[in-house]
């Protein structure tokens, strides 16, 4: 019993057993079935070597390589499948040579169902041969299963092709001289100065490719009509001119093997070389240049008029948290005390001059102070060098905290009035960062900011209580995750299974809202070109 680390080693052992049995139990001289090269014709011949100097054809030991009889391969595969044990834990293939056996049945006149002159190696688990009853008795009983188990008989007919394949495994002369050393001394120069050629660089290969292409592309056609009327000729006026160019240009129609150029069209390609035409080359290059053919930003002439500013100037605050309030001097009401019941809208033009400034753009009181928080604030903050955020935070009439964040695909909008932390969304969970209004970092751009608190027409509490599990217009997203619902642009459906519809003002969503538009986009929307 022997173990083998791979199935290939097990199969090679089976080949060795077949070869050993055939040599020991038959009269066949397997060496007579070797393949060799006829020194006169160069043809591969199977038979007895004519002399010791004849070159024998050898194949890789892997019996599946070209040159091995498919019947032998099939028999070996069957034996391994039925009679070789495999231990997956040890990853070994086991052949029990004591229990694995063969018997040889020479063909006689009473074996009418077997071709004359051939022999059978039978491999089974019982003595005798049911298929060939009447043939000579086998030399012994050797099989891969106990007698009477019904193991299927495996037969290998020793045809010349099988014997030729087996001949590859017998010993052969390890050294053989086919060279006339005296003649070689006279003809060959044994002074070797360089064993390996210098390595060609990629740039050298590219240079050679373009040099070859320049030489093989030929001259472009001499078109004689301007088909698309763009000022350049792009077609022939007759099919005869087209045909004449093809015959004079393409190597397909060249009079000899040393004339002509790369065929222009696929239909005129050399037989068996469909991918060697100028048309194929053009189509292949297109797959590498799609971004050139379809640029993202088309060059469209901007003929809009330039906007002329109507204001004589602007008031500049050199730092955040610097501001003034201009109001009527009559009375003490600055117009903000009733914001919790009346609501408000604040607008301003803002330009940020650095990436790091944070602070309040506008405030009335402080909604986040620990003692008696009240009022509201419009503030800006940044987290990265590429994004800046704006948000509105306030205390409502009941003293509850509200802010301007919206829902996101992976996060429901936070109900700040019910949140026990009594903090804005970002302070409660930093994952809510992108739920606030974001503006790009552009030091040259002005932004128009609109911050509003709708205390009358927006029912934020009802939005949470009833509609957060309703569906958005896409039919897949819940309203609690829909940014547009919290901006007031989605009217809920009639029930929880009906998707909502788009609208300019639904009456639902967040009471606090911050919207931003750049000066460039605003002027373009109004039909002007920004300076």
User: Is the domain of 163 the same as that of 214?
Assistant: no
Clarify whether residues 60 and 164 are in a common domain. yes
Domain of residue 236, residue span: 209-292
Reply yes or no on whether the pLDDT at 521 is more than 60.
Answer: yes
Within this chain, do residues 25 and 127 fall inside the same structural domain, yes or no? yes
From the CB of residue 81, how many other CB atoms can be counted at a distance below 10 Å? 10
Cβ-in-10-Å burial (0-12, 13-18, 19+) of 27 comes to exposed
Residue among 91, 85, 72, 238 at smallest CA distance from 161: 72
Whether 262 and 160 share a structural domain: no
Boundary residue ending a domain (169, 196, 225): 169
Q: Among 39-48, 143-152, 389-398, 412-421, which stretch is predicted with the lowest mean pLDDT?
A: 143-152
**Confidence band, pLDDT 50/70/90 cuts, at residue 246:** very high
Q: Is residue 297 part of a domain?
A: no
Residues 52, 144, single domain; the answer is yes
Mean pLDDT to the nearest integer, 383-388: 81
Judge whether residue 433 has pLDDT over 90. Answer: yes
Residues 25 and 90 in one domain: yes
Cα separation, 451 vs 515, whole angstroms: 6
Grouping H, G, I as helix, E, B as strand and the rest as coil, residue 296 is coil
User: How long is the chain?
Assistant: 531
Domain for residue 187, yes or no?
no
Q: Within this chain, do residues 136 and 68 fall inside the same structural domain, yes or no? A: yes
- Rounded distance, CA 512 to CA 450, Å? 11
Residues 252, 145, single domain; the answer is: no
One domain, residues 258 and 363: no
Query: What is the band of 25 on the pLDDT scale with cuts at 50, 70, 90?
Result: confident
* pLDDT of 281: 93
Tell me if 399 is assigned to some domain: yes
d(CA 370, CA 366): 9
At residue 442, the pLDDT reads 86
Q: H/E element holding 349?
A: strand 344-350
Residues 161 and 219 in one domain: no
Out of 292, 323, 357, pick the residue that ends a domain. 292
* Count of domains forming the chain: 3
Q: Does residue 160 contact residue 30 with C-beta atoms inside 8 Å?
A: no
Q: 495 vs 11, which has greater pLDDT?
A: 495
Identify the domain boundary among 144, 169, 194.
169
* Residue 85 confidence (pLDDT) above 80: no
Do 43 and 165 fall into the same domain?
Answer: yes
Name the nearest CA neighbour of 82 among 151, 129, 1, 146: 151
Q: In the prediction, which pLDDT does 96 show? A: 65
């Amino acid at each position: 019993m022997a173990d083998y680390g791979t199935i290939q080693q097990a199969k090679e052992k089976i080949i060795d057993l077949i070869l050993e049995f055939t040599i020991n139990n038959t009269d066949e001289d397997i060496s007579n079935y070797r393949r060799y090269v006829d020194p006169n014709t160069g043809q591969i011949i199977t038979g007895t070597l004519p002399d010791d100097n004849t070159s024998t054809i050898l194949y890789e030991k892997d019996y599946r390589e070209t040159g091995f009889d498919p019947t032998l391969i099939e028999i070996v595969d069957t034996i391994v499948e039925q009679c070789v044990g495999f231990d997956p834990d040890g990853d070994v293939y086991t052949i029990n040579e004591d229990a694995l056996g063969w018997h040889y049945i020479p063909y006689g006149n009473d074996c009418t169902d077997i071709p004359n002159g051939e022999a059978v190696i039978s491999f089974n688990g019982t003595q005798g041969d049911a298929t060939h009853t009447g043939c000579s008795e086998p030399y012994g009983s050797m099989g891969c299963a106990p007698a009477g188990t019904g193991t299927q008989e495996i037969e290998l007919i020793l045809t010349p092709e099988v014997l030729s394949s087996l001949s590859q495994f017998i010993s052969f002369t390890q050294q053989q001289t086919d060279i006339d050393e005296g003649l070689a001394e006279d003809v060959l120069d044994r002074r070797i100065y360089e064993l390996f050629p210098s390595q060609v660089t990629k740039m050298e290969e590219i240079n050679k490719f373009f040099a070859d292409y320049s030489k093989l592309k030929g001259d472009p056609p001499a078109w004689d009509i301007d088909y698309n009327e763009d000022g350049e000729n792009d077609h022939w006026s007759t099919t005869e001119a087209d045909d004449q160019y093809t015959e004079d240009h393409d190597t397909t129609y060249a009079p000899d093997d040393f004339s002509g150029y790369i065929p222009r069209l696929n239909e005129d390609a050399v037989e068996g070389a469909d991918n060697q035409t100028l048309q194929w080359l053009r189509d292949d290059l297109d797959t590498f240049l799609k971004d050139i053919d379809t640029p993202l930003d088309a060059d469209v002439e901007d003929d809009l008029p330039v906007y002329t500013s109507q204001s004589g100037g602007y008031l500049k605050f050199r730092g955040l948290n610097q501001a003034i309030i201009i109001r009527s001097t009559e009375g003490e009401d600055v117009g903000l005390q009733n914001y919790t019941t009346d609501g408000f809208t604040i607008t301003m033009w803002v330009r940020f001059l650095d990436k790091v400034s944070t602070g309040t753009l506008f405030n009335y009181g402080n909604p986040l102070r620990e003692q008696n928080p009240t009022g509201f604030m419009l503030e800006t903050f940044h987290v990265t060098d590429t994004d800046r955020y704006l948000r509105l935070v306030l205390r409502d009439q009941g003293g509850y905290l509200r802010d301007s964040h919206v829902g996101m695909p992976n996060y429901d909008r936070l109900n700040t009035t019910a949140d026990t932390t009594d903090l804005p969304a970002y302070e409660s969970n930093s994952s809510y960062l992108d739920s606030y209004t974001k503006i790009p970092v552009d030091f040259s751009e002005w932004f128009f900011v609109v911050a509003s608190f709708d205390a009358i027409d927006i029912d934020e509490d009802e939005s949470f209580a009833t509609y957060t599990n309703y569906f958005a217009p896409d039919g897949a997203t819940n309203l609690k995750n829909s940014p547009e619902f919290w901006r007031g642009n989605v009217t809920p459906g009639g029930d929880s299974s009906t998707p909502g519809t788009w609208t300019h003002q639904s009456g639902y969503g967040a009471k606090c809202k911050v919207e931003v538009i750049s000066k460039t986009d605003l002027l373009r929307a109004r039909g002007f070109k920004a300076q």
